[in-house]
Chains A and B, each alone.
Chain A
Amino acid sequence: MTAMLEVDNVSRRFGGLMAVDSVTTTVGERELVGLIGPNGAGKTTLFNLISGFTPVSSGEIRYRGEKISGLKPSVIASKGISRTFQNLRVFPNMTVFDNVSVGAVGAIGQTPWQAIVGGSNRAQQISERSWEALEKVQLTRYANDLAANLAYGKRKYLEIARALAMNPDLLILDEPAAGLNDSETAELASFIKDLHSSGITVMLVEHDMGLVMSICERIVVLASGKKIADAEPSVVRQNREVLEAYLGVDE
């Protein structure tokens, strides 16, 4: 079976700094992969390269065999890859429902003409899909509230719902547990597991080792832009290089 996402010898240079240095890895269909590494290891940069926010300096990224590096973020998104952001970027002055609908309208599309005359069932489809996404994260109660007025933890779920409304095949979560307490993190972990078992391939960057170790099937470890490990959690836990770079030598 070919991999869903192939990162092929990809590098990204910012001035003199190699933020991502010749990284090669894959994500298989229906996998749940974690990406970890110390601060500044290049995790978010790698996500930005995959989602098209930052162009690659060299190498190639392929999605289902098709080259996606060099495409615009909106084009990559429309192929079925959706992402969330590390620093929580909801649309603050829009309602919760309207936030989610942007993901749905991005995927389903509505032309000005369809908006004016109605007629086509686009609006109905977008409404239904947005509602379903809100149901998945249990935010339907807040549908008409402004996103800015939601509690921090709920905004995290809102951002995930907006990504889900795009009906993605590959969901990329950038530090979903950042800023959450232990019980919220545990809740999020089981939510991500459910998403994964519903058929979505998930790739997540995370600082919270407990979360990554408990739910991921495979873990990719970056340090200073280089990949230093790529294996099951139990193997990564034993890897000397990982322990030195990330968990501290004295362990």
Chain B
Amino acid sequence: MIEIINLTKHYGEIKAVENVSFSVNKGEILGFLGPNGAGKSTTMNIITGYIPSTSGTVTVDGYDIMEHSREVKKRIGYMPELPPLYLDMTVTDFLDFCAQLKEVDKKAWKSQKDDIMELVKITHVQHRLIRNLSKGYKQRVGLAQALVGAPEVLVLDEPTVGLDPKQIIEIRKLIKALGKNHTIILSSHILPEVSAVCERVVIINKGKIVAVDTPENLSKNLTDFTKFRMTIAGPEKRVKELIQQVYGVKYLEVQNTGKDDECSYIIEADKDIDVRKPIFHKLAQVGYPILELRSLGLSLEEIFLQLTTEEREVN
């Protein structure tokens, strides 16, 4: 649906985006992740045709953004970081204006308008001036604006920034629901957001892509060991010895649980060797029961930090 090839944007000496290439499939929710100032907004502004790129191409549904910008713009609903709202208009007037601006068929708009307002839950504030709405509602009107004309692609730049936790959860749910019949690019610097909503993640840092994968794969591939936590009843010293004897165990850390006869152990082992079974057998022989076994995957947060800091070291 969206193809981005070798996208580059320079502001004089500053390279805001460099050789960024990725594609978004139809119906996919793609997370665009990176620290502040990584080039997320610049990339999104280029995809939506707000600013031109220095070099590289963007095609949406087969149309090039530079050559057929009108066709591309018809297919994209964009919600920039600062929702573009006319504060002196009421919600309905503003949405009507957007529909005219986007050349939505008048009859189609009549039925669409109520659906959109229902979806983002702004029906009850429709006759109020946008100026008087709270931040959360302004954000929703901004989202409603992007939905006008039922575009196939939605580009959302940090849609939950500045909202309270309850609103954030609501907006995320909404985006997930929208993902059923839209192709969505969503940018964020908040990691749980991306892992909660997106099917695929593009991590960008200092204008360059550092990783593209599903959140799960990212966490799998980036680690060359498996990590889990075991709580075992038995004397600490003896248990520690037993575990260390198992082939494949690379690292062991003991955490006290506060109870006399049991301890927690953080175990890291080679990725290819399953050490859980031998540990169980060993402990069973001497009668020390395993009370808890939990796998500790690398969280997206750790991956993110790892990727973006590694990049820094290279530079």
A binds B: no
Show the binding face of B for A, using Cβ within 8 Å. Answer: none
Show the binding face of A for B, using Cβ within 8 Å. Answer: none
